[in-house]
Chain A
Amino acid sequence: MKKVLLHVGTPKTGTSYLQDVLFRNRESLREQGILYPIDRFDGHFLAALDLMRLTWGGLETQAVGAWDRLAEEVREWPGTSIISHEIFSTASPTQIDRALTSFGEGVEVHLIVSVRDLVRQVPAEWQENVKHRSLVSFSHFLEMIRDPARDTRIGSWFWGAQEIPDILDRWGSTLPPEQVHLVTVPRPGAAPDELWRRFSHTFGLDGLELDLTPERANPSMGVPETALLRLINKRVTPVVDPPDYRPLVRELLAHQTLSRRTKSARLGLPPATHEWVQELSRTWVEEIQKRGYDVVGDVADLIGQPAEAFSDPDTATAADLLPPALDAIKALLVEGSRLRESEATLARDLDETRRELEIARRTPAEKTVQAMETSRSGRVALGAYRRLRRR
């Protein structure tokens, strides 16, 4: 039976790790009958941009036709295919209809939604916004997501990607409940490989030979680090374009530098919001239990942990911001030095290439003169020739 395992989110549920394992092991998976149709790590992200006609800081220009190519590979594969990207969670019913239709007839589609409690998802989504150039404060972000009208871009996107019953309605309404799989992210303190075990079981990867070395992740930052990044955004977004922002700010500063400061306060929710999201989550848990989906993990984990001391990123002091700021300056200086060295190497290579080009372009006469000037007899002969030609 042809199967498509369609993993549509949600964001911040270990998706980067899962996709990294699938990408690195795609050849091995193929040999074992499972297709992960992709030729670059973000291939399914591009397919999602194409399917949903989304722009993404210019990346969308690389996505032209990506969904149709992906669907064609799936149609041609006789066994199981895996598609995974978290932004599929925001697709509209019409786009979902197109996606499911494009796999062709006689395919058993299994929907997989990995989910995490809103207590962790709300601050994580704000942080993700900050890592994508946002200037919005945490308190304003919370206001926007609590607005029932969802009139703002942030509110609309947040619930599109995080309202689990709605995602299941949109993606799963045409599927039998046993083909809808909900993978819950374990609560804090669980065994480090527990989430992978749940993914592996759901995707049918148990027992397969896979390289699980983590190479790509989307690590989180603490309170002062996120507050600092938001302040940096205020200064740099008008003058640093997205193609430079991604490697320098998101990757170098956020992922490789600030997220390594693991001892600082973690982002959480203010008490009133904490209470509100837990109340909302309880209604979701009841709804999910009624629907009879295949839940991998404990659906009650969606209610989240009790409130802890809240550290407000909007009121981080200069003393809080100084240590991560110094780390950021150091990282940028080291990167600046590396780039200077790289520039010097390139300049040397360029000089050398120019010299070689010059030599290659010399006329036979110039080459003869140069060769003659290297020996005494040659120089004598040249002198005689020049006297003869009065040069």
Chain B
Amino acid sequence: MSSEPSVPGTARAWGWVAHLRAGGTTPWDAWTGDGVPTARVLPGAQQLELLRRLNLAGRAPDGLADRVLTAAAPGRGKPDLALVGAGRSPYGPQPVDPSLLPPDELIRVATSVLAEDLVALGVSTPPRRLHRIWHRRHRLAGDPIEVAGVRDHLASRGRPPGGPGAPVLVLGGPLDQMLADVWTRRCFERGSFGWLEWLRFWQQRDELPPRIDLAAVADRHRAQSPDVHVVLDRSQLPDLLAVRRLPPPVRQGSDAAELARRIATVVGLLVPPDERAALMTHTLLPRMPATTTPPVALPAEHRAWVQAAAERMARQLSRAGYAVVGDPRAVVPTQSVAPLETAGSPGAASGQQVLDLAVAMLVDDTWKGQG
């Protein structure tokens, strides 16, 4: 990628770089002014177009333009692309009109910057509460979003899980919901495959993720505690935990989960694995801006095997003497999660939704102070 201003079109490209750095929003195909090189290499079309979208969305924080223009687009996507008409070698990938780049290419650059922000924030330490030892003890397992909601609520009241002889509550619900919850939670831990690829992974293995294979979870805990209940009726949970009420679980939208998944991949390149999980769970998750996009939902192509697996789980829970609170058939999906109708990828957020969220987080960085 030549940065020589004498090469036809290159001066125009440097002019556009200066325009975008100054907060400009003119698309490349409408840009006419020239400029001089301000770096050794011209930024790629992906970086430049992302900066333009940030400028369109609002005033970017100081220093963000430089960070975006030098950001590496992680992963095996397209290399940094040249601007069409910016005069370059006949070799390499075809130059592009940046306004036509698919959202995915811009998300790659955005996640690189957001991942660096997250690493800079560091791991948040949850506040320590006075441990109320006279309260009923408990251990929680099962659906990770249900578990996290209940655990955090109780911990904030001085009741962290554990303790000798604590009864174990294995929290469950409809299997499609539990699958969505496990995937969403994974996005805020170690990262994951995409939603559909992840579902195919379990379908092909004819297995369930260990956290929500409720009978197996109960079996594992029975080895340590005789008092294990599989809780499928959430309304009975406050009584079991001796609290008046519990807050409803917070489920992230599919756009937030997908963006977190992609940030987690980059964070994994910047810090050791344990630190990545801590950053994703304790730093990003509580700060993630709320969106109106629903959580991921089971697409039609996966309903049959999930239904069959849920029926099998219900039979196991009924027959093998597990202490079940609620109806074992509650694990069978009842279309409780409304399918999203988004183009090309039913059940998951569109690339544009994910990009919009990424752009919003880059332009308005007040999320960094939340949590």
Contacts and interface: CB of A to CB of B under 8 A. Distances in A.
Interface of A: 49-50, 52-55, 60-61, 63-64, 90, 92-97, 148-150, 153, 156-157, 159-160, 163, 165-166, 169-170, 173-174, 238-239, 287
Nearest to A149: B94
Contacts of B244: none
Given A55-B265, A64-B269, A239-B205, A92 B40 contact: no
Leading 9 A-B pairs by shortest Cβ distance:
A238-B204, A53-B74, A166-B91, A92-B80, A93-B41, A166-B92, A165-B91, A93-B1, A53-B72
Interface in B225-284: 265-266, 268-273
A156 B105 CA distance: 13
Main secondary structure of the interface of B (DSSP, over half): loop
Interface string B168-205: 00000000000000000000000000000000110011
Contact of A52 (B2, B72, B89, B273): B72
Q: Which of A55, A93, A160, A287 neighbours the largest number of chain B CB atoms within 10 Å of its CB?
A: A93
A239 B74 CA distance: 27
29 contacts: A53-B266, A53-B269, A54-B74, A55-B75, A55-B265, A61-B268, A61-B272, A64-B272, A92-B44, A92-B72, A92-B73, A92-B79, A93-B42, A94-B41, A94-B70, A94-B71, A94-B72, A94-B80, A148-B94, A156-B76, A156-B77, A159-B93, A163-B91, A163-B92, A165-B91, A169-B1, A173-B2, A238-B204, A287-B91
B43 A64 contact: no
A54 B91 contact: no
B64 to A, nearest CB: 16
Contacts, number: 94
B10 interface: no
Nearest to A153: B76
Contacts of B2: 169, 173
A50 B268 CA distance: 10
B78 interface: yes
A238 B205 contact: yes
B55 interface: no
B94 A170 contact: no
A149 B112 CA distance: 25
Given A97-B41, A174-B40, A156 B78 contact: yes
A60 B191 CA distance: 13
A243 to B, nearest CB: 14
Given A169-B1, A170-B1, A156 B79 contact: yes
